[in-house]
Structures are given as structure tokens and as C-alpha cells.
Amino acid sequence: MTEHPIPPHPMTLRQLAARWQVNEKTVKKWIAPFADELGPVQGNLFTPRQVKIILDHLE
């Protein structure tokens, strides 16, 4: 697992897309292969645990 410079905190899909300067549709495609590991999104926020999983896979 990778240590990230910013500790994971709740983030929206839009915030994740802005992090990599891509659109939200692109991030959805990137996280689709490990969506089962993420579990359901509560409302429009990814939990800190989900953000950590996303960052571990994509960075």
C-alpha cells in the first residue's frame, strides 16, 4: 500500500476527477474494475476508506 501525501477524507466523484484533471466519467471507468471492493457509495460521497482504496489503486 502506498502512503499518500494527504490523508484520505470523504470526497465526491467531482473532487476525485479534479485531483487528476479528468472528467467524472473517466474516474467512473477507472474505478469500475474494483467497484466490488469499494462497496456502495453513501449519497454522493466516498468514505475515507473508499477514497484510500481508490488512491491505492490509481496512484
* Higher pLDDT pick, 35 / 42: 35
User: Virtual CA dihedral for 17, 37, 45, 3, nearest 10 degrees?
Assistant: -60
Is 58 exposed, middle or buried, given 0-12, 13-18 or 19+ CB atoms closer than 10 A? middle
Distance CA 33, CA 53 (A): 12
* pTM for the model: 0.83
Mean pLDDT of the chain, nearest integer: 90
* Higher pLDDT pick, 14 / 4: 14
Average pLDDT estimate for 4-25 = 89
Strands (DSSP E) found in the chain: 11-12, 45-46
With cut-offs at 50, 70 and 90, classify the pLDDT of residue 5: low
Q: pLDDT tens digit string along 19-37?
A: 999 999 999 999 999 999 9
